Amino acid sequence: MRKVLYTDGAHYVAEHGEAYWLIEEIAFAQCNPKIAVEGSQVWKLSVETDHTAILTCTDVNDRLIHRKRLTFTDFPLDEISFHFTANVILPPSEY
C-alpha cells in the first residue's frame, strides 16, 4: 500500500466526527488499481436519514470511479467531501 497522508482539516473531521473510518476507506481504496490510477479524486459521503450512506469517488471531471453503500453510519453531517491528490486526503477548503 502506498503511503497516504491527511491534512489537519481531514484530521479535524475524523476526530470530531468520529470518522477515522472514513479516512481509512479513502486510503485503503488506493489499493484498487482502478481507483489509484486517478491521480486526483473527489470523495463524497452522503448520509441518509435512516443512517445508511453512499460513499462515492469521482475524478475531477465528475466521472464515477467507485461507489459503496454503507449499511450504517453515525456520521453527524448529511454530506461531506474530500479531495485525494498527491497521496494526501484533504477537505475542499484546503484544496
What are the tens digits of pLDDT across the range 53-92?
A: 999 999 989 999 999 999 999 999 999 999 999 999 999 9
The CATH number assigned to the domain holding 25 equals: 3.10.450.150
Residue 95: pLDDT band (50, 70, 90) is confident
Among 24, 77, 18, 21, which residue's Cα sits nearest to residue 46? 77
pLDDT of residue 45: 98
Checking if the pLDDT of 93 tops 90, the result is: yes
Residue numbers of the domain that contains 88: 5-94
pTM (2 decimals)?
Answer: 0.94
Q: What would the pLDDT profile of 2-47 be if each residue is shown by its tens digit?
A: 699 999 999 999 999 999 999 999 999 999 999 999 989 999 999 9
Q: Are 40 and 59 a contacting pair, CB within 8 Å? A: yes
Domain count of the fold of the chain = 1
